[in-house]
Chain A
C-alpha cells in the first residue's frame, strides 16, 4: 500500500513538473509586430535605404555637363538573400522617371551612378524606390539630397 502511494505521489509530482519544464518555451514571439525592416516589404518603416555616396560634376561623352551622384545601397540594408541586381525606380531634378539597374558589387553592396542635369553649384535631390516589375510600380520611395 505504501509503495502504491509512493508511485502515485511520484507520478503526480512528475505531472506537476512537466508543464513547468516546457512553459519556458512558450513565451511570446518577439518581433512579430516589427516585421517592417525588409526594404522589399510594402510596409517598410525603416530609414532611407540608400546613401548618396558622392556627388561630382562631370562632362559626358557628348560634351554635356552633369551632376553625377554615386548611389550606394549597403548590404546591411538588404535581406539575407542578395539578388544579383536590384531594379530601382529613380526620379530627380530634371531627370524623368527611370528604372535603373543596381548590380551587386564585390562585398554584397549595390552601387550605380545617376547623372542629373547640371544646374550649377547647389543642392541636387533624387528620389529612389524599389521597383516591382509585376506591378510596374515602386514602393518605399525616399528622397535624398546632396550638395555639389
Chain B
C-alpha cells in the first residue's frame, strides 16, 4: 500500500526554509559550501527538515545533517549553531561509483552518437548547402544566358551582337560548370543522406542511452512544492 500522504500546510506565503522553528534571539545562521559539479544539493537536518539552499537561520544547538546531491554519496555532517553568529560548513562530496560509471557510459554513448550521427549529418548538411549554392549560381547564369540569347535575336547592331555572343559563351561555360558540380554534389549528398540514415538506425539499434536514477533519498519523507499560488509541504507517513 502506498504511503499515506498528509498535506500539512498550503499557504500563500514564502517558504523561508524553516519548519517548526520561529526566529528569535536564540538563533544563528548556517552557511553550507557544498562542493558538487551540478550545483544542486539537499540537506536533511535532524531527520526532520529539508533544506534546498545554502544558508538558513536555526535555533542555537547541535545538529546532524545528511547532504545529498544527484550522483554523490550521502554525506553525514555535524555542526553547532551559536546564537547570533554565522557558521560556515564546507562539505566535500564524493561521487558514487554508479554515477562515475554512468558518466563514463554516457560519455561513450555521446561519442558514438556524434560519430554515427552528428558527424555524418553535418557532412550531409554541408553537402546539401553546397549543392544548393551550385544550383542557385547555375540557375542565375542560365537566366543570364537566356536573356542574352533573347537579346541576340533582337539586336540589329553588329558590334553589340559580338559582345552579346561573348557574354553568352562565358556565362554558358560557367553554367555548365556549375550544373555539373550540382549533379556531382547531388549524388554525393544522396549518398550522404543514405549513409546518415543507415548510420543513425544502426546507432539506435546498437546503443541505448545510459540511465541514472537521480531520486533523492529524502523524497519519501516529505516534499515541498512551490507554485505561484502558494506552497505546500506534504509528509509521507
CA distance A42 to B165 in the complex (A): 11
CA distance A12 to B200 in the complex (A): 12
Which residue of A8, A26, A31, A82 contacts B179 across the interface (Cβ within 8 Å)?
A: A26
- A42, B158: Cβ atoms closer than 8 Å: yes
Residues in chain A near residue B204, CB distance under 8 A: 5
- A26, B145: Cβ atoms closer than 8 Å: no
Report the minimal beta-carbon distance from A84 to chain B, rounded to whole angstroms. 10
Count of A-B contacts judged by CB separation below 8 Å = 91
Main secondary structure of the interface of B (DSSP, over half): helix
CA distance A40 to B221 in the complex (A): 98
Residues in chain A near residue B179, CB distance under 8 A: 26, 28
Which residue of A5, A26, A83 contacts B135 across the interface (Cβ within 8 Å)?
A: A26
Report the minimal beta-carbon distance from B113 to chain A, rounded to whole angstroms. 12
- B135, A38: Cβ atoms closer than 8 Å: no
Q: A1-33 CB contact bits vs B (8 Å, 1 = yes)?
A: 000010011001001101100110110110110
Residues in chain B near residue A29, CB distance under 8 A: 142, 145-146, 149, 172, 175
Residues in chain A near residue B200, CB distance under 8 A: 5, 8
What count of chain A residues pass the 8 Å CB interface test?
A: 34
* Given A12-B124, A22-B135, A35-B152 contact (CB < 8 Å): yes
Stretch at the interface among A47-55, A73-81, A89-97: A73-81
Closest to B125 in A: A15
- B168, A32: Cβ atoms closer than 8 Å: yes
Closest to A39 in B: B156
* Given A29-B175, A38-B161, A40-B161, A19-B153 contact (CB < 8 Å): no
Closest to A81 in B: B154
Which residue of A8, A22, A25, A79 contacts B155 across the interface (Cβ within 8 Å)?
A: A79
* Given A15-B128, A15-B189, A23-B183, A134-B159 contact (CB < 8 Å): yes
26 residue pairs bridging A and B, Cβ less than 8 Å apart: A5-B204, A9-B197, A12-B197, A15-B124, A15-B128, A15-B193, A18-B128, A18-B132, A19-B189, A19-B190, A26-B142, A26-B182, A29-B142, A29-B146, A29-B149, A32-B145, A32-B149, A35-B165, A38-B153, A40-B155, A40-B158, A43-B165, A79-B154, A79-B156, A82-B156, A132-B158
